[in-house]
Amino acid sequence: MALLDFILRAGRRPLQIMGLLTVIAGLANALLVVIVNEVAQHVAVAERPDLTTALVFVLAFVAYYQANKFALLRANHIIEVLLNRLRLGVMDRLRRAELRDVDQLRRGQLYTLVSQETNYLSVTFPLLVDSFQQAILLVISLAYLLYLSPAAFLVFLICVFAGVIAYHRINERMGDTLRRLHRFQARLLDAIGDIINGSKELRLNSRKNESVFQSYRKLSRATEATLIDSGEQWTAMILLSSAVIFAMLGIVGFGFPHFVGNHGDIVFQLIPVLLFCVAPFAKIVSQSPMFVRAEVSLQGVLEIERQLGAADMLSPSDARTAAAAYRDFRTLGYSALTFTHRDATGAGTFTLGPLDLTVQRGETLFLVGGNGSGKSTTLRLMTGLYAPEAGSIRVDETPMVGRDVAGFRELFAAIFVDFHLFDRLYGLENVPAEQVNLMIEEMGLAGKVRYEGGRFSTTHLSTGQRKRLALIATLLEDRPIYVFDEWSAEQDVHFRAYFYNTVLKRLKAQGKTVIAVTHDERYWHLADRVVKLDLGRVEWQRQGSEMEAP
């Protein structure tokens, strides 16, 4: 059971303390029940309860209250620590996992499980502790029942056994319903993302707008229907526990006086004890759907953890240390690299390679080719972001395998086509603001954005301007190799020229290696080498000097 395994992660000692407190609370609770029962019997025959009993009652209550309070507070603490560890663990794996695994994750699913469902687990755990306490009460009440009447005990067991079989069936259906609910909720979040991210397109096209909303409505209805199903299953569980309870009381109350010897006299004693057995039983049953949901949620989060793999990933600090060994590289060798993009069924949709390339330190290499020729995929392979299916990457003579790749990636600073602009210079916190603001000015962004308080005042800029900000962040990274994927595509003539004539030349002068995907033919002569790709293979390679300058 995932929930149990998860809770065991808290470690033996905290769980032992919490378990002990829960047992004390359960015992004190049972004692309270016994005292009340005794007092009721005395009162029934016109005897007044004595002071000692009242004192024991108060002491039992204090013990119950304190133990229960500390057990629940500890439970709360334990679950929050565990959940925080789980959330951090998932995000840690996410940041370290292979890009391909991350690409395959559904965002909606990730958001639902990591934020919504972990909250759910946090609410459920104290209830689990309460149910454990109720189970102790139930065991003690049952022992008392067995002492009073083995026949009534047997009736209880038979009724509960029948109830458990029916409960199990409802429980299985509920598990399926909740798994379905997760899927719908994840798709619903994806659909919300579509409506938010596609707001421009939807406002320009009412037919598309209607159709997207229609599909959202369908999902929302399916979610509603699934929630109703789960509510119905919950109701069935609660009704089932009522049916079991009343069947039991009916048999003991009406049947025993007629058919079971001597029981006529003690039925008045049995009924309250049965009711005491029934109360924790009913509570456990009514809370159990929440445990099913918590179990399903947890299984979902653990599945994401599993999908992200990451068993053999290097920590970022180890990666930085590993990178030091390659910083003085002379050549990067890529030989016979292949990589295949696959669809959801695993069928290959595009194969790149075999790709053979050698890049010299300080070289400026332009990758060119038509749309879909595999330039961006090549960059991801060359930077170690995609693991090649065959072939090898070497830094000088050292092959990059397994954990070496994390260190290898540290050689690169990149701006990909689908780059993300962080509003802070993460990892560059010590760079003086004046230096950043000077670069902002040089990029023609003064008056639009400022770097202050460790962050850019805004990132709501045009795509070209955002790329210029990304360029600042990338240049500040000061890595030996710079990778640009169509950086200049959204720049005007001035910044296009600035990129090729100033930025790339400056990088060259600093001895940096540059690998840039470009469609700007008029600047190809500035490269040391131009590599043309077609259908995932190198079509030709030429010296930049062979290219015609405009």
Ligand X SMILES: Nc1ncnc2c1ncn2[C@@H]1O[C@H](COP(=O)(O)OP(=O)(O)OP(=O)(O)O)[C@@H](O)[C@H]1O
Asked whether position 250 contacts ligand X by CB under 6 A, the answer is: no
Q: Which stretch binds ligand X (CB under 6 A): 12-20, 125-133, 285-293, 369-377?
A: 369-377
With beta carbons less than 8 A apart as the criterion, state whether 233 and 181 touch. no
Q: What is the CA radius of gyration of the chain?
A: 34
- Considering only 11, 257, 372, 427, the residue that binds ligand X (CB under 6 A) is 372
C-beta of 535: minimal distance to ligand X in Å?
9
Asked whether position 375 contacts ligand X by CB under 6 A, the answer is: yes
Retrieve residue 238's tokens.
Answer: 């609660």
C-beta of 514: minimal distance to ligand X in Å?
17
- Considering only 52, 345, 371, 430, the residue that binds ligand X (CB under 6 A) is 371
Measured from the CB atom, the residue of 103 and 423 that comes closer to ligand X is 103
Measured from the CB atom, the residue of 241 and 373 that comes closer to ligand X is 373
Retrieve residue 309's tokens.
Answer: 């793999």
> What are the E-state strand segments in 76-172?
none
Measured from the CB atom, the residue of 70 and 350 that comes closer to ligand X is 350
Measured from the CB atom, the residue of 74 and 375 that comes closer to ligand X is 375
Measured from the CB atom, the residue of 63 and 94 that comes closer to ligand X is 94
Among positions 401-440, residues that touch ligand X (CB under 6 A) are: 417
Give every CB contact of residue 471 below 8 A, 6+ residues apart in sequence: 415, 443, 487, 499, 503
The DSSP symbol for 546 reads G
Residue of 362, 303, 352, 311 lying closest to 332 (CA atoms): 362
Q: Which stretch binds ligand X (CB under 6 A): 131-139, 256-264, 375-383, 393-401?
A: 375-383
Among positions 81-110, residues that touch ligand X (CB under 6 A) are: 103
Give every CB contact of residue 299 below 8 A, 6+ residues apart in sequence: 2
Q: Which stretch binds ligand X (CB under 6 A): 34-42, 144-152, 158-166, 367-375?
A: 367-375
Q: What is the DSSP string of 116-134?
A: IIHHHHHHHHHHHHHHHHH
With beta carbons less than 8 A apart as the criterion, state whether 145 and 184 touch. no
With beta carbons less than 8 A apart as the criterion, state whether 443 and 502 touch. no
Among positions 117-176, residues that touch ligand X (CB under 6 A) are: none
Backbone angles phi, psi at 154, to 5 degrees: -65, -45
Q: Which stretch binds ligand X (CB under 6 A): 116-124, 215-223, 265-273, 374-382?
A: 374-382
In sequence order, the β-bridge partners of residue 338 are: 390
The DSSP symbol for 498 reads I
Asked whether position 377 contacts ligand X by CB under 6 A, the answer is: yes
Measured from the CB atom, the residue of 89 and 354 that comes closer to ligand X is 354
Measured from the CB atom, the residue of 341 and 455 that comes closer to ligand X is 341
Instruction: Count CB-CB contacts under 10 A for residue 47.
Output: 10
How far apart CA 464 and CA 37 sit, in angstroms, is 79
Asked whether position 185 contacts ligand X by CB under 6 A, the answer is: no
In sequence order, the β-bridge partners of residue 355 are: 337
Number of residues forming the site for ligand X (CB under 6 A) = 13
Query: How many angstroms separate the first and last alpha carbons of the chain?
Result: 69
Interaction mask 345-364, ligand X, x per CB under 6 A: ----xx--------------
Residues contributing to the site for ligand X (CB under 6 A): 103, 341, 349-350, 369, 371-377, 417
